[in-house]
A and B are shown apart, each in its own frame.
Chain A
């Protein structure tokens, strides 16, 4: 059991600062305020307090107040490897330093003494092979102890290291490393793809030496090649680990650019070290008693970040195996006594979606904090961690490769506010600003840092005059670092990052520069132009996916073959993460008046959001085409999977999780993707749990593709008379009634977020009779009741529905009560009262045009909207004038709804009123009060939610969290 020190390191440091300044710094935010108001005193006090080993003079703390050019501690000399490996007071040399965990073979542990000796031996070997200070080392190897040893050995010698994961494709690796111009290549070829090592050797001609970490045969060819083990065995005496200037290059890191190759940024030893030690000790309260596991690869800055925990004396765990299911990392955490566990929103969501309960499955008693980064962490994930991991802080931390650290993160002296990072990084003047650069508090703005900080990159490679560096961070707002993230910072200093503000894609925590995609696709003859944008994934709440917009050359069509070519190329030449979820042909890409491509406009269009900068576009009309094409492509999936488009997406999402690859096409064969028979069983179990369909192995084996599986699921779950299980659970079900389109998919976000252990069922009663004409609401309700009774024979029942579905749920309640049953609760999600139920005054309060939209929901609305509005005018149309079958269906549903006169119900009713609907329902809620004597009105953010007017609905990703929370409370 880890005993926390009586006082946190932050408290001790605060006391030191109070001593130095004579100020009281115990008020909330006071320490951060001091750190940015008196930066020289802060950073100097920090350097002294950390007792990091250095020599020279720290009298000059920073050379100026200019973020872009200021240098820190120009007269301080230090060595990163020495700082990490030095003997620490109270930490014996036989204390554990690194434990390397592998899949399928035992873990190995290096003590601090052993690690120091191995680094010394490796440094001697590399020096013997000719590595000298300033030489750059490219290190492509998995996250293991051996990789740490090599990196620290290079750092000890003053040779900057650039790391990447061995499963990356040759093209992506070369796109990064050719800028590095490495002197040494250190490769672990065991996990590298065919030909990748050879491509690296051929493509990096500056390399003087190849060192391999694996046991594969040494390659021939002119480049001298050795096994590291052989070099170590024959090495001479260990060279001295010289202390070098504070800004001496330590790491070369890459950040995806929206244009051009990835930016190769050089991080200095001193800045990296000081920032990391500050974050670990002050914000994370990491001590030698801690065991840290942060799930990362060597291609991500979190690898460098967790490495520096050695400077604190903490025990670091590495893992180079696959995440084969929700249990993988929790089992690792339990098995190795991890006290601080770092992961991603994607993994936490995977666990939540799988119904995995970590604390119930494994022993997490040693875990004292969970960290998450890489993407936006959602409110409900805080609840999930509290419930299923334990009462430990969930710290959402966010920063970037560009600063090799965090802008916002945790702190031991403040509680965690759901959905938020607790604090801004000490010493960094982080703020949200509006377009004019003015600070905004409590609102979303561009994330900026307004003062110099030590972990700013020393510079970019291949950027001799600093022009690219300047353009990357200082062009938008002069004099401050503009990071490219959107953030809101509250008055209490807590913050929430809302994703990228530029075109960089962030999919499941992997940052992808669109240019990496463009480079790979440049050679495809059918493609004239291409743009990759991030879209909120309709099948996975909280997650995003890549949509690729393709402009085809004349005569070319987006056939299945071309679609496959695109995916395959990206998978092979970049990585699985670069493969888009959707490839859509569009006539034109949005560009600004001065010809700059606007990924932001495209992203808004693809998401169906209002386009913020439409006025700045050369041809704003192309956005409508983009929107239409994406809607059509999504609907195309629906046509293939007869029971609704989300099914194929949901199946594909499960498929990618089980296989651990993002590159799954609808017609890809399971075995062709490397899936094994055992994985088929995991997949089918997930299908059963998540989609409520029992697909027999034999049925799967007949068509082992996502499309085939989606069909099998459709056939297995929602057949006529069926009641799909939207979510598993125990106890009385919560029943959601389909909308005017007969769809349930609009509830997906709500269903996932509901805080209830009860199962959630979906009811999709037929809206038309055998002759094809629309049934009355009462008839629809009667069908729904008989279906429901087949699975839940007796009450009490809990029913809810949105809009039209709410009318059906109301009629069901009346019907069930007439049959003597109890309805325990009826939830109405922004259900406007039908005209037939309104009195004359209420009718006047209503306006017909507003109600034309009331029943619309779900994907098909966008298509309807296009047909409905050939011109900008919104005509009042009678149903008879409409020829389109979809729209006719909808308008008839609407007419049926309007004719409905709800009977009185005894059940308690909660009416979730969308904030945006307030003006429309004003004066008509009295109609609902006549129906329900026990009516509680709960206002929730958002509009009614038709896509028609581009306003964000209460069931949308943005607002559904609040709705789910209030819905969950009402259910209790």
Chain B
């Protein structure tokens, strides 16, 4: 069930939090608006993944339907090669979604390209530095932070990178370490993408990346 939207960081992007702990009836209702391809993809997952995919996709369709003045099942939503949501150019809309645990996040923008990512704040361990996705400068920034702040900062760096890469349509293959977003919480611009925090409940971090539609950086 979509929750009330948090204050949107940009006027032209609508952000919706999705409660992924909905009951079975909700899941069944959500399934009824999905395309056969979306249903098939959802069913490939474990029960928890299935549930998440169904609820998230249905929420995305619901938001888009309101924007387009049509029914959720009728929204002309398709998936790109790497799973990125795609809409016909004529709609002027772009969409993104992300989920972490019981929290889903759906973003719909008009006249821009966008990417979103939400993650639970993962416990900090030194192993994170060894995973190869943080740029050296980001590793240094993390090292200067008090230990208690690193979990949040590292997770935020992740969501920022992933938001940009998802916006580009490349996903995490697009070069995580090369996308240097820093570990701070102030809005930044990375390769033409504006990146900022999305307010989410404690325990999660979310980021939104947007770029003007006419000159989408690739």
Contacts and interface: CB of A to CB of B under 8 A. Distances in A.
Interface in B43-82: 44-49, 51-52
A569 interface: no
A193 B47 contact: yes
A198 B47 contact: no
A331 B147 CA distance: 13
A323 to B, nearest CB: 11
B175 to A, nearest CB: 9
A685 B130 contact: yes
A778 to B, nearest CB: 42
Contacts of B132: 681, 684-685
Given A105-B203, A194-B27, A678-B122, A327 B49 contact: no
A18 interface: no
Given A104-B120, A685-B132, A674 B45 contact: yes
A102 to B, nearest CB: 9
Contacts of B173: 697-698, 701
Interface in A669-702: 669, 671-674, 676-678, 680-682, 684-685, 697-698, 701
B46 A331 contact: no
Nearest to A673: B46
A195 B26 CA distance: 12
B125 A674 contact: no
A579 to B, nearest CB: 11
Nearest to B165: A677
A571 interface: yes
A689 to B, nearest CB: 8
Given A104-B203, A190-B21, A198-B24, A361 B48 contact: no
Contacts of A217: 23
B119 A678 contact: yes
Interface string A199-221: 00000000000000000110000
A669 B49 CA distance: 12
A325 interface: yes
B123 A682 contact: no
Nearest to B158: A678
Nearest to B45: A672
A926 interface: no
B127 A685 contact: yes
Q: Which of the four size classes fits the interface of chain A?
A: 35 or more
Most buried by A among B24, B127, B131: B127
Contacts of B121: 104
B126 interface: yes
Nearest to A686: B127
B138 interface: no
A550 to B, nearest CB: 23
Among B24, B45, B120, B123, max chain A CB count under 10 A is at B123
Nearest to A321: B123
Contacts of B46: 571, 661, 663, 672-674
Nearest to B83: A671
A697 B45 contact: no
Contacts of A21: none
B203 A194 contact: no
Nearest to B22: A216
A613 interface: no
A677 B162 contact: yes
A330 B47 CA distance: 31
A193 to B, nearest CB: 6
Contact of A671 (B24, B49, B119, B176): B49
Nearest to B102: A190
A676 B204 CA distance: 14
B171 interface: yes
Interface in A293-328: 324-325, 327-328
Contact of A701 (B24, B51, B171): B171
B123 A327 contact: yes
B172 interface: yes
Contact of B44 (A324, A325, A672): A672
A570 to B, nearest CB: 12
A685 B131 contact: yes
A103 interface: yes
A680 B172 contact: yes
Nearest to A217: B23
B215 interface: no
Interface string A413-444: 00000000000000000000000000000000
B112 to A, nearest CB: 23
A572 interface: yes
Contacts of B39: none
B126 A103 contact: no
A671 B132 CA distance: 20
B172 A572 contact: no
A81 to B, nearest CB: 32
A194 B24 contact: yes
A661 B45 CA distance: 13
Interface in B103-145: 119-123, 125-127, 130-133
B148 to A, nearest CB: 10
B188 interface: no
A931 B217 CA distance: 69
B214 interface: no
A361 B24 CA distance: 43
Interface in B156-194: 158, 162, 171-173, 176
A685 B172 CA distance: 15
A684 B46 CA distance: 22
B87 interface: no
A361 B131 contact: no
A325 B127 contact: yes
A544 to B, nearest CB: 24
Contacts of A103: 120, 123
Contacts of B131: 681-682, 684-685
Interface string A363-392: 000000000000000000000000000000
A681 B119 CA distance: 14
A673 B48 CA distance: 9
A324 B45 contact: no
**Residue picked from A103, A661, A676, most chain B C-beta under 10 Å:** A676
Nearest to B202: A105
A420 B176 CA distance: 48
A52 B102 CA distance: 44
Interface string A565-576: 000000110000
Contacts of B23: 216-217
Contacts of B21: 190, 216
B48 A193 contact: yes
Contact of B172 (A324, A672, A677): A677
A602 to B, nearest CB: 30
Contacts of B176: 681, 697
Contacts of A684: 131-132
Contact of A361 (B102, B126, B202): B126
Given A194-B24, A217-B23, A685-B131, A674 B48 contact: yes
A104 B171 CA distance: 25
B123 A697 contact: no
B33 to A, nearest CB: 18
Contacts of B171: 677, 701
A195 B24 contact: yes
Given A190-B21, A194-B27, A331 B47 contact: no
Contacts of A671: 45, 49
A859 to B, nearest CB: 31
Interface string A325-362: 10110010000000000000000000000000000010
8 contacts: A193-B48, A194-B24, A194-B27, A671-B45, A674-B52, A678-B122, A682-B131, A685-B127
* A-B pairs, 10 with minimum CB distance: A104-B203, A681-B131, A672-B45, A327-B125, A677-B172, A698-B173, A674-B49, A672-B44, A685-B131, A105-B203
Interface of B: 21, 23-24, 27, 44-49, 51-52, 100-102, 119-123, 125-127, 130-133, 158, 162, 171-173, 176, 202-204
Given A325-B127, A673-B49, A685-B130, 5 more contacts: A104-B101, A661-B46, A684-B131, A685-B127, A701-B173
